[in-house]
Amino acid sequence: MNSGPTITLLRVLFIVFTGFLGSEIGGSIWSLPKLGICAGVAFGLCVVLADKLLKGFSLRMFSSATFGLLLGLMASRLLIASGLLYRTPADVQWLISLTIYATFGYIGMMLAMRSNRDEFALIIPYIRFRDQSPNDMPILVDSNIIIDGRLAELVATGFLSRSLIVPRFILEELQTLADSHDPARREKGRLALSRLQELQRDPALTVTIHEVPVDPFAAVDSKLIQLAKILSARLLSNDGNLCSIARLQGITALNLNDLNKALRPAVAAGDEISLTLTKEGREPHQAVGYLTDGTMIVVNNSRAQVGKNVRVAISSVRQTSAGRLFFAELAQ
């Protein structure tokens, strides 16, 4: 769900409304409605500009900042009421008081926005913030997940949240890939955009193209981590390094490759399984088959059975840099 056009329409309507109010105020006070319109439109533009500058400021951060500001102002009030400024000259007393309010208010906001719900519970012991269930947390999607193609099936199983967030910079990355001069990369990008459109058409899913601005000079991985923190979202990626860095920073990171490994069939030496032999092996007597997760099984004395489904007995397992490699014999 792309909220960009709706936001633009609301901004335009707000500017028109402030222009109308400006004409009414200017006409009644100064008898200059045109000047009032200009002042109203200018005011509306300033508000919209402030809104754009605060794009990365979420409602949760605003609530935390307000709470911190109140604490800072209370501390300032206590400090001033203590009589600390009693002997200060009256002509500068207001300036020192204003400085104290501004300083403690700023410190309170910064501390509150850096704090988590557990630290708030220490300040307000009788108020507990409800923990957000993992299934309620939105999922921030990396580009390699969209390219992978398994996301729709995975979400349909119910194991993941049905609220997906695709950042604008990820969409631009896919668009750049789709416009590539390399035919393979171009096809990969176009297929990814097509899959994203299919996800948006699914009525059971909420796919949001998020417009939050992040540091334009930061790497994509850094942008994803920054946005996951702002939105309190889980990060879904096939990049193992990105997931590791995100977890170190307290972000829940999900890796489809890790899930695939966890669901790998538990095959051990001595097990008998059915296997389709797809090709000849390296040795003259060998044939090769694959498990559903892509794990290779080399079957001895079976070259004549290539193309057939046979029963094999696992004889040994070898761990390689590419994963596990099984050796087997034809079952008796």
- pLDDT tens profile 152-191: 888 878 777 788 999 989 999 999 999 989 988 999 999 9
Q: How many CB atoms lie within 10 A of CB 138?
A: 18
Mean pLDDT of the chain: 83
% of the chain beyond a pLDDT of 70: 88
pLDDT at 187: 92
pLDDT at 117: 54
Tokens 């208010």 correspond to 105
pLDDT band of 3, cuts 50, 70, 90: low
Contact yes or no for 168/211 (Cβ under 8 A): yes
Residue range 190-194: average pLDDT? 92
**Identity of the residue numbered 124:** I
**Identity of the residue numbered 81:** A
Contact yes or no for 306/330 (Cβ under 8 A): no
Could you tell me the pTM of the whole model?
0.52
Residue range 143-147: average pLDDT? 91
- pLDDT tens profile 229-274: 888 889 999 998 999 999 999 899 999 888 877 776 677 788 888 9
Residue 17 has pLDDT above 70, yes or no: yes
Q: How many CB atoms lie within 10 A of CB 167?
A: 25
Residue 133 has pLDDT above 70, yes or no: no
* DSSP tag of 1: -
- Count CA atoms within 13 Å of residue 130 on its CB side: 5
- Radius of gyration over every alpha carbon of the chain, rounded to an integer in angstroms: 30
pLDDT at 267: 79
pLDDT at 55: 67
pLDDT at 126: 47
Helix (H) or strand (E) holding 79: helix 59-81
Can you tell me the distance from the alpha carbon of 292 to that of 274, in angstroms, rounded to the nearest whole number?
11
Provide DSSP, 186-243.
HHHHHHHHHHHHHHHH-TT-EEEEE-----TTS-HHHHHHHHHHHHT-EEE-S-HHHH
**Mind listing the domains of the chain with CATH numbers?**
1-53 (no CATH), 59-130 (no CATH), 134-262 (3.40.50.1010), 272-330 (2.40.50.140)
pLDDT at 265: 67
**Identity of the residue numbered 120:** F
pLDDT at 202: 84
49 three-class SS: helix
